[in-house]
Amino acid sequence: MSRTAYRATLFHTLADPTGAPAAEAWVHHPDGLLVVEDGHVAAFGAYAELAPTLDADVAVEHLPGRLIAPGFVDAHTHYPQTDVVAAWGSQLLDWLNNHTFPAEQAFADRAHADAAAAFFLDELLRNGTTSALVFCTVHKASVDALFEAALARDMRLVGGKVLMDRNAPAALCDTVESGRADTEALIRAWRGRGRLGYAVTPRFAVTSTDAQLAMAGEVAAAHPDVLVHTHMSENLDEIARVRELFPDARDYLEVYARFGLAGPRSVFAHCVHADEGVLTRMRQAGSAAAFCPSSNLLLGSGLFRLKQACACGVTVALGADIGAGASFSLLHMMGEAYKVGQLSGEALDPIHAFYLATLAGAKALKIDDKVGNLQPGKEADFLVLDPSATPLLARRTAQAASIDEVLFALSILGDDRAVERTYLAGRLAHRRG
Ligand code: GUN
Ligand code: ZN
């Protein structure tokens, strides 16, 4: 058995800090020790307590001034949209037609998909994201490309083939039957391999017929280990379109619910315009919301009311939503979430923001028994963060009086530059510089 130990400042969360006393919600060891054995966390605690328990042959790497934290979990993103990042000027429906759908058509070519998957996963790791819930394209092989690349890197990743059978270019449409056959084949082909998981992925209610949404619900019901991943209530024109397409549905959530797509394994990206009634029904169903602040700001979608969603008891996590979102960094998303909160008169606590980017993401993806924090027994997906990575960060964090201040400075001033190392299952997967 191979043991390795790292001495640094340690921080992780154990529970939602808005719903639990601080002592139960998070742990900070200013001088801590993380012990890793066979890809899992063996110990996480104060250096002074743990060091005497280590066998003499265990190497301890001392990382003064560094912060060890769990890897980030991105609850909503799109690997085929890396090339549409920073598209100027449009809101959701035009953006999809003018930028996103053309870019996704290139994924009919397997070599293009392989190259895009490799770039995307390396960019996740450079930014400290060790797990993600990922949209592929309508092409079945786009999932193979992503999963093969994730398997080679041993990442804990969840993804799925997009289902679309209307209101999209013909080259990006499948049918009820081909969508079912491809989804079933991918679940069978990839189940149990590495640390991968599948998500049934109808793009959104606008681009699937009733029959296709019903099929998606049937496939999800037949496979209790898969997630359901889609978009909901992001943009006002989109919501009006859904109302036209489903005139007898009470609201957007009800469209998904009537087809069996709103359950405890569902992750709904955005929910910007979801009201208290919808959020309450999401909590009752056990569905999660992915808050994607960079995307919501860039597409002008609106301001997600995090406090309201939390008050309704919904599991909320953070999504980078590449390529509507313009950064892979969940540190940056924590900062963007703070700014969205400020515009609604709600100041997001930095420890809550950190929870959203780690353990909450793992909860939304149903992998919190394996990752999301560094409790002993969990998979050792962790980061070495450098709070002095840039001159301004160094200057600001030198004056920080608490871990809250360090985390807040990292969220406002930090990004991939602050991620010095990323470890996957105890193995070094990225080292800066
Ligand atoms: N709604 C449907 N498809 C998409 C997408 O690709 N990105 C975003 N942000 N919203 C969507
Ligand atoms: Zn999206």
pLDDT in tens, 98-143: 999 999 999 999 999 999 999 999 999 999 999 999 999 999 999 9
Ligand 1 midpoint to CA 76 (Å)? 10
- Please write the tens of the pLDDT for every residue from 127-186: 999 999 999 999 999 999 999 999 999 999 999 999 999 999 999 999 999 999 999 999
**Closest protein CA for atom 3 of ligand 1:** 203
Cβ–ligand 1 distance for 144 under 6 Å, the answer no
Any atom of ligand 1 within 6 Å of the Cβ of 92? yes
Q: What is the pLDDT of residues 202-221, one digit of tens each?
A: 999 999 999 999 999 999 99
Between the alpha carbon of residue 353 and those of residues 12, 335, 408, the distances in Å are 12, 8, 9
Confidence (pLDDT) at 179: 98
Q: Is 184 helix (H, G, I), strand (E, B) or coil?
A: helix
Pocket test for ligand 1, best of 97, 204, 256, 299 (most atoms within 8 A of CB): 204
Q: How many Cβ atoms sit within 10 Å of the Cβ of residue 431?
A: 12
Exposure letters 91-123 (e unless 16+ CB within 10 A, then b): bbbebbeebbbebbbebeeeebbbebbbebbeb
d(CA 39, CA 270): 34
Q: Is a pLDDT exceeding 80 seen at residue 12?
A: yes
Mean pLDDT of the chain: 98
Question: What whole-number percentage of the chain has pLDDT above 70?
Answer: 100
pTM exceeding 0.95 = yes
- Please classify residue 262 by burial: count the beta carbons closer than 10 Å to its beta carbon, then call 0-12 exposed, 13-18 middle and 19+ buried: buried
The beta strands (E) that lie in 154-284 are given as: 156-160, 162-163, 196-202, 227-232, 266-270
Question: Which residue has a Cα nearest atom 11 of ligand 1?
Answer: 231
Which of the residue ranges 14-23, 244-253, 362-371 would you say has the lowest mean pLDDT?
14-23
Which pLDDT does position 2 carry in this prediction? Answer: 85
CATH architecture of the domain 72-364 equals Alpha-Beta Barrel (3.20)
Same fold, 3-71+373-431 and 72-364: no
Domain range list for the chain: 3-71+373-431, 72-364
Compute, in angstroms, the gap from residue 139 CA to the centroid of ligand 1: 17
Supply the pLDDT for residue 197: 98
| CA–CA separation, 423 and 204 (whole Å) | 34
Structure confidence by residue, pLDDT tens digits, 283-333: 999 999 999 999 999 999 999 999 999 999 999 999 999 999 999 999 999
Residue of the CA atom closest to atom 1 of ligand 1 = 231
pLDDT tens-digit series, residues 27-52: 999 999 999 999 999 999 999 999 99
pLDDT of residue 1: 61
Nearest to 396 by CA among 383, 385, 384, 387: 387
- 375 CA from centroid of ligand 1 (Å): 35
Ligand nearest to the CA of 104: 1
CATH code of 3-71+373-431, in short, is 2.30.40.10
Q: Which two tokens stand for residue 296?
A: 């919501």
Q: CB-side exposure of 166: number of CA atoms within 13 Å?
A: 12
Exposure pattern of 187-226 as b/e (b: 16+ CB <10 Å)?
beebeeebbbbbbbbbbbbbbbbeebbbbbbebbeebeeb
Residue 378 has pLDDT above 90, yes or no: yes
